[in-house]
Structure 1
Amino acid sequence: MPIELDELDRRILRALQEDGRMQNTELAQAIGLSPSPCLRRVRLLEQAGVIERYVAVVNPAAVGYPQTLFTRVWLTAQDADTIDQFIAAMERLPQVMECYIMLGECDAMLRVVVEDLDDYRRFQTRHLTRANGIQNVKTDLPSQVVKRSYTMPI
């Protein structure tokens, strides 16, 4: 259940989503609060789980992973053991940036980063197999990134 956010909380969240390294004094000035109540609000947002963590957004191409692929996965079964086995396997793979268990046509959706298509082929051959509870895989290759956002519409 979402917690109730007032306008000051929303301003804090918008500002931190734009610059997570912003110092408390800068944040307080940007949202119109003094530093002490601003810090208190940030701590409450962290404790409530609204702010999960702070991260650096890394350019994939700059670190050798220019290729993103979306992979639809069908599992060998939909029982808890198969799903748990699949989840554990995906959590161990650093190339899997996102993994969702789906309702609908496929059982799971992955966002995978790799060096190139040969690297993806090796990844698929080694990891997207029956050993990890996978029956079938369909991969989609985006031709253009139109929008990539990490900012929640608050």
Structure 2
Amino acid sequence: MAETFPELDELDFAIIRFLETDGRMPYTTIASELNVAESTVRKRITRLIDSKVLEIVAIPDPVKVGLGTVALIGVKIEGDDLQTAVEILQEKEMVRFIGVTTGTFDLMIGVTMDSNERLFDFVTHTLRKIPGVVGSQTSLILKVFKQRV
């Protein structure tokens, strides 16, 4: 059976937008900006978190924590090995994002590393050894202008 999520209204989306700018923003500040009671904001956020619509996490800046090599890698998978590849990649700490795609590649993954050499090792010694991986294309991210989760 498909997972169900609560219906979101404009207030839910407004609260989420505030938390996107600062996940630690006090409920009283959000309530004041939206002209609602603090208890309303608290209950809405609790409902969004409990229903797994919202997750509040710390997102470090990769460059500032010594992971200045950021790349997107398109991966071609042969046969029925897609799920196996995803499961293996999910276990790799340097892999920050995995998405199934249409077009040239079957997967797009985002990685952060401490050096280009480490990226080279990942692509040549880890990625290429995953069952079903028949090709990849790596693009280094030179500068990030906007990042949202």
TM-score normalised to structure 1 length: 0.83
Structure 1 residue 64 displacement after superposition? 1.2
Q: Deviations over 1:71-118 (max 9, x none)?
A: 1111132x1xx1121011100111111111112111111111111211
Alignment counterpart, residue 36 of structure 2, candidates 33, 41, 53 = 33
Q: 1:124 to 1:31 in 2, by over 3 A?
A: same
- Whichever residue aligns with residue 110 of structure 1, its letter is I
Question: CA–CA distance in 2 between the matches of 1:143 and 1:59?
Answer: 14
TM-score normalised to structure 2 length: 0.85
Question: CA–CA distance in 1 between the matches of 2:40 and 2:142?
Answer: 46
Q: 1:145 to 1:35 in 2, by over 3 A?
A: closer
Query: Which residue of structure 2 lines up, in the alignment, with residue 104 of structure 1?
Result: 103
Structure 1 residue 37 displacement after superposition? 2.1
Query: Which residue of structure 2 lines up, in the alignment, with residue 149 of structure 1?
Result: 148
Query: Which residue of structure 2 lines up, in the alignment, with residue 5 of structure 1?
Result: 8
Structure 1 residue 12 displacement after superposition? 1.1
Matched, 1:113 2:112: yes
Alignment counterpart, residue 76 of structure 1, candidates 62, 75, 78 = 78
Q: 1:89 to 1:30 in 2, by over 3 A?
A: same
- Whichever residue aligns with residue 140 of structure 2, its letter is L
Question: CA–CA distance in 2 between the matches of 1:57 and 1:8?
Answer: 25
Contact 2:75 2:108 in 1 (8 A): yes
Structure 1 residue 3 displacement after superposition? 5.0
- How many residues of Structure 1 are paired with residues of Structure 2 in the alignment? 146
Question: CA–CA distance in 2 between the matches of 1:67 and 1:138?
Answer: 15
Q: Deviations over 1:95-143 (max 9, x none)?
A: 1111111121111111111112111111112211244421111111233
Question: CA–CA distance in 1 between the matches of 2:14 and 2:107?
Answer: 35
Correspondence 1:41-56 to 2 at 5 A: 41-51=44-54, 53-56=55-58
Gaps of 5+ in 2: none
User: 3-state DSSP class of the match of 2:112?
Assistant: strand
Matched, 1:91 2:90: yes
Contact 2:67 2:112 in 1 (8 A): yes
Contact 1:89 1:132 in 2 (8 A): no
Question: CA–CA distance in 2 between the matches of 1:131 and 1:57?
Answer: 28
Query: Which residue of structure 2 lines up, in the alignment, with residue 126 of structure 1?
Result: 125
